[in-house]
Amino acid sequence: MSSPSSQQQSSQLEATAVDNFREYLRIPTVQPNVNYDDCVAFLQRQAKSLDLPLKVYNVHPNKPIVIITWEGTEPSLPAILLNSHTDVVPVFPDHWTYPPFSAHMDEKGDIYARGSQDMKCVGIQYLEAIRRLKLNGQRFKRTIHLSFVPDEEIGGVLGMKEFVHTKDFKSLNLAFALDEGVASPTNDFFLYNGERSLWHLWIHCPGNPGHGSLMLDNTAGEKVRYIIDKFMDFRAKEKAKLTNPKCKLGDVTSVNLTQLQGGVQTNVIPDKLTVVFDIRIATTVNIVEFEKMIRGWCEEAGPGVHIDFEQKNEEVEVTKVDATNPFWVAFKKASDKLGINLDVGIFPGATDSRYVRAVGIPALGFSPMNNTPILLHDHDEYLNKDVFLRGIKIYEELIPAVANA
């Protein structure tokens, strides 16, 4: 039975954690054109309260990468990275019950704010778990770096994507990373060991222009129709796989038509039409063969049809979740000790983990939120206070496990 003083300390730590979470949520690091100054100042105060050194790296101006470091007892060993991103997606306040940057907490303990699930919760959970571990006088073999990175919500192009190729990143000497997952509506917890390759592509279909009354050959409309049919037929086949209850979204290649552009007015046949697709390629697909297939469709559609890639992620090896990966073994053992069931799979979206894995560092995506509706990017995004606090306790087991692996 814990003593009154330890109970008092525990409730003070919980109050501090909730206060810090809500303060962080009130900083509107909302895309686009984010000003990260208040965020950096907040993290500097957190590092000071933990008596840990903090460094700010600027791979690009106004895109700060904040690293807080807790040195291990064997600092020559490769280190652990606990990554989170500081930016959040845009909001439409009219659709929110409470102002989206107020961090309002209702009578049930639900904390409403943009970023409450994606992913300011995880950044604070890391910090608060380390606060407790330090107070208990614990130390671990491996150095732990907490990274707070910008612009993940717009592809991390000027954030983690470039940072992983710098001397500063290499000097962190990393062996393993944790990053974000998503909330789970069930009692299980989602864990992700890989991501689909993200392709955003524009397919341009040029053709003969003319008057809308004519029946010309080689029109942009005929070509764009062929392209759309090919992509949407492929989409239907992939979607059909999801009727198998064992098949998850991360196991299939998703295809979505997101934009159609072109034309000048109703009675003019356009000289070009463009169709835009968002594609997430399953980890089981050979991307060289996949590209060959879609380029073949473009040739079949007619002369001049060509692709521009807005994004074209390369195939990245998934992180092994077997006995060959000591960090997975340690993570799983700690999860079993906590009695939490992990639903392991491929992340359906894209996170900064893909850049970390691409430079050969194993990474797992995990956000300790269960029995919680998935509200990332949605109106009225919230996280319950008790779910948030339990997540800290979970990290109190997981962080030591991987830092001593």
For residues 65 and 147, the answer to whether their CB atoms sit within 8 Å is: yes
Residue with tokens 């949605």: 378
Q: What is the DSSP code string of 286-355?
A: -HHHHHHHHHHHHHHH-TT-EEEEEEEPPP-PPPP-STT-HHHHHHHHHHHHHTPPEEEEEESS--THHH
- 391's CB contacts (< 8 A; 6+ apart) are 121, 122, 125, 367, 368, 369
Tokens of 323: 């006995």
Rounded Cα distance, 217 and 220, in Å = 9
Rounded Cα distance, 355 and 365, in Å = 13
Tokens of 107: 């009578």
Given the residues 128, 152, 195, 251, the one annotated as active site: 152
Strand partners, 306: 204
Rounded Cα distance, 111 and 216, in Å = 60
Given the residues 87, 179, 352, 396, the one annotated as active site: 87
Based on the residue annotation, tell me whether 87 is a catalytic residue of this protein: yes
- 76's CB contacts (< 8 A; 6+ apart) are none
**For residue 252, which of 288, 278, 283, 227 has the smallest C-alpha distance?**
283
Tokens of 350: 């894209």
- 1's CB contacts (< 8 A; 6+ apart) are none
Backbone angles phi, psi at 197, to 5 degrees: -75, 125
The set of catalytic residues is 87, 152
